[in-house]
Structure 1
Amino acid sequence: MALKLVFMGTPDFSVPALAAIADAGHEIRAVYSQPPRPAGRGMAERLSPVHAKANALGIPVRTPLSLKVEHEQQAFAALETDAAVVIAYGLILPRAVLAAPRFGCFNVHASALPRWRGAAPIHRAIMAGDPETAVMVMRMEEGLDTGPVCLTDRVAIEPNVTTGELHDTLARRGADLIVKALEALEVGSLDCTPQPSEGVTYAAKIEKAESRIDFTRPASEVHNHVRGLSPFPGAWFEASPPDGTPERIKVLRTERIEGSGAPGEALDDRLAIACGTGAVRLVEVQRAGKRAMTAGDFLRGFTIPKGTRLPL
């Protein structure tokens, strides 16, 4: 028997789960997503990825600015659903909303809870050098990602994987996991276990000030910093092209290499840069307003000779 659901999500990460739930035959009575936002050069309003997918599936979409007002809570309750599925929605669900569905609200979270509760779990796991993460289905409570965990799929974090790549893997795995959770919920066999009280960490939102590369840090940390911020917002350093005007150069991919020198020193003519200990080679970079490119393509128009000291 299909469940009657609400789906609540906004970014690309949520789209595979919405599609998988629809394919599984559940009745999605409404999709909630963040309102359209101005985007692009013309600043025209753009639908969220979830909103666009819901339109394609023929599911009605609601875009309230808040769920704290009584009329929105009444409208949510009037849907008379069995459960809500919440994935990177972007609004806090008050108690009245959490209590409205018959079986409650279930969140797909991209970390090995209780590690990396909060807004940026994929970025933070890679930046911290974690060897493993997970995607989890959790029964929601009023606390920030504090609810009991129902299903878990653990995922190794490969040494050179970027946030963008891990994001896509976890989105696919999360879609499969929520479908399994809903199958269990249908037959009354979904068991959820409280999170341990030890090992709690918080994945704070990425701030712009964190994006600048600090070459005084060890090469392992610089490498994790770059891949943790790739492709967005992108870690960067400053350098001057032949015309002498300093530019911010985003670094999207690095590799750790043998080498030593003063932090920020170019060790050769192929973008090997010394760190506090060890060195990294810049493999993929992006100039402002340009496409991402390999180091070789970059160096055809922007030289950083051996011995150059990048600003710290």
Structure 2
Amino acid sequence: MTDDGAVLTIRATGRRPALCCVPAISGSPYPYLPLAALLDADQPVLALEAPGFEDDRPPAGSLPDLTAGYRDTLRRVRPDRAYALLGWSMGGVVAYHLAQRLRADGLDVPALVLVDSVVPTLMRHPEGAERTTRFVVDLLATSGQPVEPARAVLDGLPAGSTPGAAFTALVRAGVLPEDLDHSFLLHRYALFDAHLTALSHYRPTGGYDGPVTVVRAAESPADLMRWDGLAADVTELVVPGDHYSIWRGEGLVALGRALRRCLSGTDTDDHGRPYAQKGTADEWPPPPGGA
């Protein structure tokens, strides 16, 4: 596993197009680390990192801006002619838009996998204290930490409490892991808040005619993940668990099976020709504008 700045390379080699994982609302590439043990040995895997997650780059101002940055990063770090895309949660929405951009550039997207991703126009976006709670729950649940003690502290705060006041209360109550101090929470909340705002303003247009697989957690609402209105070729697979537990235990095993199924036919293009492991600037030049 190597880290190339804004890309975490989980597995560098393999004959198939790289599986490029788009981060969820946290901006973190690390939830995708378990994929190395789940997928076939000939499947390259990399995970993108959002601007501002662990560097001084400002958060993207809109979902199209975020997508454009990811596209440029992919073309710079791995200038292939085909990319399989996967996104969990908000990452699925960004992956959908990224797939549109890559195909518009003349690149192939042999697989687009949306893992428990709600259609953006069907979302209800939290505000105020509810947004702070959503951030804390997401931060803890993503790493498998208990959320109820923190939720109880947040529920007991005065109406109108700021995120900073909420984080002070959580740290004082001792309900968070020790490494989640006040400054860390403020930093990560700023990125979460920027991403949620970008997501709330995004309206997908243009449709998508490539293959899409929606992998839904069994405990998630099916009616919020009806991507068939935005794509012509949608397959739904259901795995046990909820939005977070699918990355652990039985849910993770089932998720691995689903992903292997999605990626099993991605080693050849639409004409049955094998993809090269890596493109070169001469064989497949970057689209106008550079990488």
User: What TM-score comes out, normalization by structure 2 length?
Assistant: 0.34
Higher Cα Rg: structure 1 or 2?
A: 1
Q: Which structure carries more strand by proportion?
A: 1
Q: Higher relative contact order by CA 8 Å / sep ≥ 6: 1 or 2?
A: 2
